[in-house]
Amino acid sequence: MGEQREVSRLLLHLADDQFGTTPLWLIIAVGALIVDVLIVRWSASPR
């Protein structure tokens, strides 16, 4: 359990160093990707 916490803390620290406190572009990119996939799936599904 302790190891997992260390790893997650390390990952958070790395992400913090690389992107700053809030990687807003990452949130927007992931959100856009999800919306895009949902729209494509929904429009492709037969009715």
Please report, for the chain, the start and end positions of each structural domain, with discontinuous segments joined by +: 21-47
- Residue 19 CB partners (closer than 8 Å, separation 6+): 25, 26
DSSP string over 16-34: HHHH-S--HHHHHHHHHHH
The per-residue pLDDT for range 16-45, each reduced to its tens digit, is 666 565 667 778 899 999 999 999 988 887
DSSP 47: -
pTM, two decimal places: 0.43
Residue type, 4: Q
Note the pLDDT of residue 25.
77
